[in-house]
Structure 1
Amino acid sequence: MDKLSINTLFLSAVSPSPNRRFSFIPPFTKSTPSSLSTTPTNLRRKSMIDSLTVAEARREADEKRTAKYAKMERQREEVRQGIREKYNIKKKEEAAPPVPLPCEGRLTQDKKGPIPLPDDDDSFDPIKMATDALNTITEKLPFKLPWK
């Protein structure tokens, strides 16, 4: 059996130069030109004109479409009117939506805020409240507490 070289095993394309056998860049890729603008000015002008003609064509197509649907709706309305006349059906008048009256203030209820604390007066004493609660509990116990 013949000895196979690396070129015949792994490379399917013929290398562009005989001295350079292996390359990471395939020989069929194009190099990019050095100039930034790849399209000539006359092509750019043509594409601008084409975009204007495309926009004009889209606008015309849109007008045709709206005219077509308006015509279809007129035909449907004629058919509906014929059915109404045949069966003596009165057309429902669309009621105008009621005009909301201008209102002042909030439309919904006021938002609930935190629970208002009592004003700073003599009736609110947390120590007195705690001792009263403890006395109430101790009175209900079936036995006497040792400190009482």
Structure 2
Amino acid sequence: MPGRATTARQPLPEHLPRDERLYEPAEMLCVQCGGGFKYLGDDVSEQLEIIGAAVKVLRHVRRKRACACCDRVIQGVAPSQPIERGIAGPGLLAQNIVVKFADHQPLYRQAEIYARQGVAPDRSAVARWIGACGALVRRWWKHCSAT
């Protein structure tokens, strides 16, 4: 979004439980040379999610491997995200939508509730999540109307 001021994203609180999910590459042998892959490292992204009434962090670990023969690098496929590069998971987004529109809870109160749980997303972040959900619904609706 042009013209929008960017703020540095704060790390997610360490006290929240982590649920780690590992995504291995599909290939076990290099398609170029037939050699095996060796462990190269991981790319880790964290996403804030709400499960039931508990807030937790899902760690998506994308395992990287390099071919021992030709140094080709492969990596596990990242799961699709409702908001590209966003930290809010689908359950948390659904919770925000329901609380805002069905329970008529303003965003500042939602931010206060998260703060009591030790998570402090600013109101503008929660507002962007709501806007991004609206954009997702519009895209889905256009897709459904076209078919």
Q: Which has the higher contact order (CA 8 A, sep 6+)?
A: 2
- Which structure: greater strand fraction? 2
Q: TM-score, normalised by structure 2?
A: 0.18
Larger radius of gyration: 1
Normalising by the residue count of structure 1, what TM-score does the alignment of the two structures yield?
0.18
Bigger helix share: 1
